[in-house]
Amino acid sequence: MEMRILGQGLEVSKLGLGCMSISGAYGPKLSRDESNALLRRAVELGVTHFDTAEMYGPFTSEEMVGEALEPVRDEVVIATKFGFRIDPEKGANVRAGRSTTGFDSTPAHIREVCEASLKRLRTDRIDLFYQHRVDPDVPIEDVAGTVGELVKEGKVRHFGMSEAPLDLIRRAHATFPVTALQNEYSLWTRDVEAGMLPALREMGIGLVPFSPLGRGFLTGSLKPGEVPEGDWRAAMPRFKGEAAETNYRLVEALHALAQKTGHSAGQLALAWVMAQGDDVSPIPGTRKIERLEENAGAAAIELGADDLAAIESAFPQDEVVGGRYA
């Protein structure tokens, strides 16, 4: 698979793998054998970029990633995150964030998370360490400075931020270079294009889009009214009622376009995201090997200007109904 460079020289595969779902975000947690098979198949397909976080599970996603990738540790890039206080006694419910009790990006806590994540991931360094969400009570300079110290100590290689506002990214970057920003980005969520993406390129920061398949909706496999009971997507405006019906018509148009080219709607959606720049590495998640293989196939799709225009015409952003979150 083609490789790309994020920010400060971090080489990753064109397409990565988000590892939130393996710990139970979309259905039951995978078994040890299932997660090992999935993650190792990703490596066979050329995926080198694996994204997890301590709050996924909580903790179980990191453990699963660590076990599966230990035999190939030097061949892959592992990203994880800090920034929350986690209370395991509240139970594993990453879907609603109920295992978290608030933000915590204090320097001492960042160091605690780093040490714990290193153990769960069975590694001596974290390739990309993100602040999961901004902590309003801790100056971003303290956060960036602490991660910078961890880099100097060899425990972390690169610093990332997730869903952070541009002014804080600039302040953090001035303290210690930011390698990547992780934000939602897909055909139905294109907010980053207006001001964020040009600014990231000005600073030399890569973009890691999460939910590039619209949490599965853009594949066409999740029809209106079919969100499973208890699934956290059921509370999201885009998946409900008339909004879901309207949005699904856009998915059908994308599917019709994809059929003409011999691809799936999901592959076309992923190819569109990857075509937005060589500094973009999306991390679609999945629990199924067949979906993983389908997604990996999208990395080989080359889209020209006419192809991109046709996709955007079939799925116009201004016709998407409903917000990202309730």
Judge residue 173's burial from the number of C-beta atoms within 10 Å of its C-beta, 0-12 exposed, 13-18 middle, 19 or more buried.
buried
For residues 36 and 175, what is the distance between their CA atoms, to the nearest angstrom? 38
DSSP string, 65-80: HHHHHGGGGGG-EEEE
Residue carrying the six token digits 């709607």? 265
For residues 145 and 172, what is the distance between their CA atoms, to the nearest angstrom? 8
Would residue 248 show up in a list of annotated catalytic residues for this protein? Answer: no
Judge residue 38's burial from the number of C-beta atoms within 10 Å of its C-beta, 0-12 exposed, 13-18 middle, 19 or more buried.
buried
Catalytic residue among 56, 130, 185, 248: 56
- Helix count (H) and strand count (E) of the chain? 10, 11
For residues 16 and 241, what is the distance between their CA atoms, to the nearest angstrom? 32
**Catalytic (active-site) positions:** 56
